Amino acid sequence: MPASDPRSHARAILEAALAAVDPALALKTALRREGDLLRLGGEVLDLAGFDRIIAVGAGKAGAPMAQALEEVLGERLTAGRVVVKDGHAAPTRVVEMLEASHPVPDRRGVEAGAKLAELLAGADEHTLILCLLSGGGSALMVAPAPGISLNDKQRATSLLLACGADIAEINAVRKHLSTVKGGGLARLASPARVISLIVSDVVGDRLDVIASGPTVGDGSTWAQVGDIFDRYGLWEKLPIPVRERARAGLAGQLPDTPKPGEQWFARVSNLVIASNRQALTAASEKARGLGYRPLILSSTIEGETREVARVHAALAQEVRASGHPLAAPCCLISGGETTVTLGERPGKGGRNQEFALAAALDIAGLEGVLVVSAGSDGTDGPTDAAGAWADGQTVARAASRGLKARDFLARHDAYGFFAPLGDLIITGPTRTNVMDVRLVLLGG
Amino acid sequence: MPASDPRSHARAILEAALAAVDPALALKTALRREGDLLRLGGEVLDLAGFDRIIAVGAGKAGAPMAQALEEVLGERLTAGRVVVKDGHAAPTRVVEMLEASHPVPDRRGVEAGAKLAELLAGADEHTLILCLLSGGGSALMVAPAPGISLNDKQRATSLLLACGADIAEINAVRKHLSTVKGGGLARLASPARVISLIVSDVVGDRLDVIASGPTVGDGSTWAQVGDIFDRYGLWEKLPIPVRERARAGLAGQLPDTPKPGEQWFARVSNLVIASNRQALTAASEKARGLGYRPLILSSTIEGETREVARVHAALAQEVRASGHPLAAPCCLISGGETTVTLGERPGKGGRNQEFALAAALDIAGLEGVLVVSAGSDGTDGPTDAAGAWADGQTVARAASRGLKARDFLARHDAYGFFAPLGDLIITGPTRTNVMDVRLVLLGG
């Protein structure tokens, strides 16, 4: 039976969730070496068959992944280059750490892309490439196609955003302007054996979306790119090199992006080693161990944060009223990544803090319920918090200090609401990112 | 194991849900007579102790409730008057059916209120009053306080709406301007024995909210009414009789609304005989009988419809991906009442149809999933449909006819989307209302 301190339980459950997606631990769990044998997934690789083993990669989790890979491969690792976000580097023995700007790419990202490509240039069938991918990889490893500048790419993306193109359309164009995105890295590495180890920060773990899918075939085509430019009337507005590349692509003078099933992917494996679902599963196991009946709702929850929070609160209400969807003590668990539509002059906050604030309003007065929402990367919006806690007394406790929950929610100022209450969750950067984890804990 | 026709299963589950909240059946289940003994809830009443048994009531389910009551009480029913919505009357033997306008009250509603009060006037301790309440009762049974006209009340309500007062504030004012709302009917009936039989159309089955709580103590006060008029600067704008009544109330010259625990309620029982939760429970049992694992998520789900739909779709995705929150074949069940925030020049639809349309987009391509949302009253928004069906092929099937789901959703034209597909659910008026029922059916 859960004891009287739900917060310490929630903290333990959250820690278990984060531990399960720690990039270094996840890599060492996914990749086990016994002498010359490397076990990964259901596969066994004989390292003796390779002359060179090279690590490449990009993403916010690059440093701990590189460190763990060095630990697993020891002296067998020949070389490596991994791009990480500024300030995210860490000491490595063989792998060269490159830093670049995120989320807006810079010249160092382009240089890093070139350095990675250089490392892949000599790859042959006796080369094993281990590709370490995580969230942010797309902005950190930039490799514009020949003749295209970083500015050209950014200008094209801005135009697409401004005309209301959807994310699938934007990605189709970007993959056609890049040397590494959309399977490009696999093509560069071919005919080497390529194993991508992936920390997923994408809803549904879509391999073609995580870090723009450098080792996954691209389903989009030059014809679609042309249609997109037609549909939004962009041809005349595009930078000249982009326009000329698209025209050449449409005329069949340039190869299309690597397609699923093409030879580039014959020796490529993609392995998700850490995901939101893994975090939720670990949370579920920990909750059970603490005496709560766990229920994983979904790892793919998107949508407007405050509305998603209301649904979670309604489930909490129902547990108390009728024992559905399951009887207390229980722990409802969900993941994914919601959005916040900001109005004019919004306050300070993030989607996890806003989730907790919106839930607080709907569970006000309910006994023995604790709601927690936290970003697995330790950063929620432009704040130093990962998320926040809320319970049935939060709204009243705030009101007694003159803080009106509904007003703070209306102006998206969840940080301003929770900070004076001491109810922010502060973890610092976790160096992983598998989106968000939300818990609704109901005591017995 | 569920067979190959999920629609017929969903239809059967929906029918079971509606049957469980049929007002006549529900009344006959809740109220059982054996000679002079009347069993209700855990109580037994000896009818021999009463000289007169009188039915009063208001609401859209008034007619079937009155018919069922006549059936149960037979010759023992002395008299009755029940107000129903125009066109909702039905043949009765003893109970007089009164019709009035809904949702905007009219003069007939005021006359009906007076006729009900007249019937209660002679009630004494040997009178048993059965009060039949259901959704719409508040607009149908109107009894402005002495000196206040229907126009005065409506003007006050409009002013409150216009200045952004919330529903609790509006209700506090309205209860203070009425003779029957907020416990007023119980006061009129006192010292009779009063039993309210209630079909709940309110999230969380709040007795003080259903039909404005005519037999439930009111927690709001004249002081709060004064605060509300202060806060929104309404004193000078209110109709003179409303202003004078409020001033008299604040000065202690008028009694406040009946308060919980006061003598008026000593012989009052309130019994919810049909609710959203009962509908969901019946749906759950039927789903189990058809071979699906059922899971009731919550009967109290509110929020913006399209976002709530996304959460449901995310759960369906997760069932397919990982067997959470439970393994297929399964049936996720939810209820409550969501809202739709309309933009300019919206199309035709209702919250249930919009739910199905928004869900269709998020489950597009998913195999063996069927989403159903229907209003239990058979009416969804200003349409002739109760709701709509959607499955993983809906969006593609529509696209092949030139109907782009995202565009229809953007302009809130769910009826225009589903009508040509033949995917509207048309039940006709059901004469009950326990809000909405949603099903997500996942085949094995």
Report how far residue A409's alpha carbon sits from residue A417's, in angstroms, rounded to the nearest whole number: 9
Range of the domain at B315: 6-13+277-442
Report how far residue B396's alpha carbon sits from residue B125's, in angstroms, rounded to the nearest whole number: 66
Q: What is the bridge-based pairing of β-strands B369-375 and B330-336?
A: unpaired
Structure tokens at A393: 């007394």
pLDDT (tens digit, 9 = 90+) per residue, A140-149? 999 999 999 9
Q: Exposed, middle or buried: residue A269 (CB in 10 Å: 0-12, 13-18, 19+)?
A: middle
Residues 6+ apart with CB under 8 A from B252: none
Of B117, B163, B155, B184, the residue nearest B242 (C-alpha): B155
CB contacts under 8 A, B 322-381 vs A, are 322, 324-325, 336
Q: Exposed, middle or buried: residue A163 (CB in 10 Å: 0-12, 13-18, 19+)?
A: middle
pLDDT (tens digit, 9 = 90+) per residue, A3-41? 568 999 999 999 999 999 999 999 999 999 999 999 998
Q: Is residue A250 one of the residues assigned to a domain?
A: no
- In chain A, residues with a C-beta closer than 8 Å to the C-beta of B364 are none
Q: Which residue has the tokens 């809202």?
A: B339
Q: Is residue B367 one of the residues assigned to a domain?
A: yes
pLDDT higher than threshold 80 for residue A50: yes
Q: Does A296 touch chain B (CB under 8 A)?
A: yes
Q: Are residues A66 and A42 in the same domain?
A: yes
pLDDT higher than threshold 60 for residue A45: yes
Across the interface, whether the CB atoms of A325 and B299 are under 8 A apart is answered: no
Q: Are residues A312 and A324 in the same domain?
A: yes
Q: Does B299 touch chain A (CB under 8 A)?
A: yes
- Sheet with B127-133, side-by-side order of all strands: B95-100, B79-85, B52-58, B127-133, B193-199, B268-274
How many domains is chain B partitioned into structurally?
2
Structure tokens at A306: 């405050």
Name the region of B269 (left: φ>0; alpha: ψ -120 to 50; beta: rest): beta
Q: Does B407 touch chain A (CB under 8 A)?
A: no
**Other beta carbons within 10 Å of B341:** 9
Output Rg (C-alpha) for chain A, integer angstroms: 23
pLDDT (tens digit, 9 = 90+) per residue, A183-211? 999 999 999 999 999 999 999 999 999 99
Q: Does A204 touch chain B (CB under 8 A)?
A: yes
Across the interface, whether the CB atoms of B325 and A295 are under 8 A apart is answered: yes
Q: Is residue A407 one of the residues assigned to a domain?
A: yes
**Mean pLDDT per 10-residue run, chain B (444 residues)?**
76 97 96 95 92 96 97 96 94 97 92 96 96 94 94 93 88 95 96 97 93 95 96 95 97 96 95 97 98 98 97 98 97 97 92 98 97 96 96 98 96 98 94 95 94
* pTM of the predicted protein model: 0.92
pLDDT higher than threshold 50 for residue A1: no
Q: Exposed, middle or buried: residue B109 (CB in 10 Å: 0-12, 13-18, 19+)?
A: buried
pLDDT at B166: 85
pLDDT at A4: 62
pLDDT at A358: 98
Mean pLDDT for the stretch of residues A246-268 = 96
Q: Is residue A48 one of the residues assigned to a domain?
A: yes
Query: Which of B296, B311, B321 lies closest to A311 in CB terms?
Result: B311
pLDDT at A344: 87
The residue of chain B with its CA nearest to that of A310 is B303
pLDDT at B444: 86
A365-A370-A374-A378 Cα dihedral, nearest 10 degrees: 110
Q: Is residue B79 one of the residues assigned to a domain?
A: yes
- Transcribe A287-326 into DSSP letters: HHHTTPEEEEEEEEE-SBHHHHHHHHHHHHHHHHHH--SS
Q: Does A45 touch chain B (CB under 8 A)?
A: no
Residue of A281, A300, A341, A361 to mutate when probing chain B, most B C-beta within 10 A: A300
Across the interface, whether the CB atoms of B314 and A300 are under 8 A apart is answered: yes
Helix (H) or strand (E) holding B204: none
Q: Does A246 touch chain B (CB under 8 A)?
A: no
Q: Are residues A268 and A409 in the same domain?
A: no
Q: What is the CATH number of the domain that holds A354?
A: 3.40.1480.10
Q: What is the bridge-based pairing of β-strands B43-46 and A436-442?
A: unpaired
Across the interface, whether the CB atoms of B336 and A317 are under 8 A apart is answered: no
Taking a C-beta distance cutoff of 8 angstroms, is the pair A55, A95 a contact?
A: yes
pLDDT at B4: 62
Q: Does A304 touch chain B (CB under 8 A)?
A: yes
Q: What is the bridge-based pairing of β-strands A293-301 and A268-274?
A: unpaired
Q: Is residue A167 one of the residues assigned to a domain?
A: no
The residue of chain B with its CA nearest to that of A299 is B318
Percent of chain A at pLDDT exceeding 70: 99
Across the interface, whether the CB atoms of A303 and B311 are under 8 A apart is answered: yes
Q: Is residue B231 one of the residues assigned to a domain?
A: no
Query: Which of A300, A311, A322 lies closest to B308 in CB terms?
Result: A311
| DSSP conformation class of A442 | E
pLDDT at A429: 87
The residue of chain A with its CA nearest to that of B301 is A314
pLDDT higher than threshold 90 for residue A275: yes
d(CA A282, nearest CA chain B) in Å: 14
Across the interface, whether the CB atoms of A296 and B325 are under 8 A apart is answered: yes
pLDDT, chain A, mean: 95
Q: Are residues A432 and A319 in the same domain?
A: yes
Q: Are residues A90 and A193 in the same domain?
A: yes
pLDDT at B164: 86
Residue of B307, B322, B351 to mutate when probing chain A, most A C-beta within 10 A: B307
Mean pLDDT for the stretch of residues A95-110 = 94
B253-B259-B261-B267 Cα dihedral, nearest 10 degrees: 90
**Which whole-number Å values give the CA distances from A13 to A20, A90, A437, in the listed order?**
11, 28, 10
pLDDT (tens digit, 9 = 90+) per residue, A299-345? 999 999 999 999 999 999 999 999 999 999 999 999 999 999 998 88
pLDDT at A311: 98
Residue of B277, B324, B334, B435 to mutate when probing chain A, most A C-beta within 10 A: B324
pLDDT at B429: 87
Of A203, A363, A276, A312, the residue nearest B307 (C-alpha): A312
Q: Are residues A91 and A213 in the same domain?
A: yes
Report how far residue B407's alpha carbon sits from residue A230's, in angstroms, rounded to the nearest whole number: 19
Taking a C-beta distance cutoff of 8 angstroms, is the pair B387, B425 a contact?
A: yes
| DSSP conformation class of A84 | E
Q: Are residues A368 and A270 in the same domain?
A: no
Q: Are residues A202 and A316 in the same domain?
A: no
Mean pLDDT for the stretch of residues A355-361 = 98
Q: What is the CATH number of the domain that holds A96?
A: 3.40.50.10180
**Per-residue confidence band for A444, with pLDDT thresholds at 50, 70 and 90:** confident
Percent of chain A at pLDDT exceeding 90: 92
Q: Which amino acid would we find at residue A37?
A: L
The upper half-sphere exposure of residue B294, i.e. CA atoms within 13 Å in the direction of its Cβ, equals: 22
Query: Which of A299, A311, A325 lies closest to B295 in CB terms?
Result: A325
Q: Are residues A203 and A288 in the same domain?
A: no
| DSSP conformation class of A76 | G
Q: Are residues A71 and A87 in the same domain?
A: yes
Q: Are residues A135 and A263 in the same domain?
A: yes
pLDDT at B168: 87
Q: Is residue B240 one of the residues assigned to a domain?
A: no
Report how far residue B433's alpha carbon sits from residue B274's, in angstroms, rounded to the nearest whole number: 9
Residue of A169, A302, A307 to mutate when probing chain B, most B C-beta within 10 A: A307
Across the interface, whether the CB atoms of B311 and A304 are under 8 A apart is answered: no
d(CA A338, nearest CA chain B) in Å: 10
Report how far residue B307's alpha carbon sits from residue B305's, in angstroms, rounded to the nearest whole number: 5
**Other beta carbons within 10 Å of A40:** 19
The crossing angle, in degrees rounded to 10, of helices B240-250 and B150-162 is: 80
Q: Are residues B414 and B398 in the same domain?
A: yes
- In chain B, residues with a C-beta closer than 8 Å to the C-beta of A302 are 310, 314
pLDDT at B2: 47
